[in-house]
Amino acid sequence: MSELYSLTSQFPLSVKEMSQIDRRLIIDASEVGEFVYCAKSWYLKRCGEIPRGSRLEEGAVFHEKHEATVSRATRLRKAGEWLLIIGFFLLVVLALIWFAM
C-alpha cells in the first residue's frame, strides 16, 4: 500500500515542477492541427524558421497539388462505394430471378 501511495503522491505536479519541464516537449492542441495539415511546416515553425520567397511558393504549390490528389482519391473512393452497392443490388436481383425460375 505504501508503494501505491508513493507513486500517486507524485501527481499532480507542483507549479515549481511544471516550470522545470522543457517547453519543447509540450504540444498545444492548436499545434496538433498544424501538424496534421503539414508536418514539415509545423516542424519548421517549431524550430523558429519562417519560410520565405521561393520556399514558401514551393510549399503552396505542393499543397495545391496534394489537395487535388486527396480530392480525387475521395471522389474515387465514393464512386467505388456506389459501384459496390449497385453491384450487390444487381447480384440480389439476379439471385431472385434465378430462384424464381
Are 41 and 34 in contact by the 8 Å Cβ rule? The answer is yes
CA distances from 8 to 1, 2, 16, 47 (A): 11, 10, 18, 35
- Judged against a pLDDT cut of 80, whether residue 1 lies above it is answered with no
Tell me, what's the pLDDT at 46? 83
Tell me, what's the pLDDT at 35? 86
The Cα 101–Cα 96 span in angstroms is 9
- Number of Cβ within 10 Å of residue 42's Cβ equals 17
pTM value is 0.52
For residue range 47-96, what is the model confidence (pLDDT) as tens digits? 888 777 888 888 889 889 999 999 999 999 999 999 999 999 999 999 99
Rg of the chain on CA atoms, in Å: 27
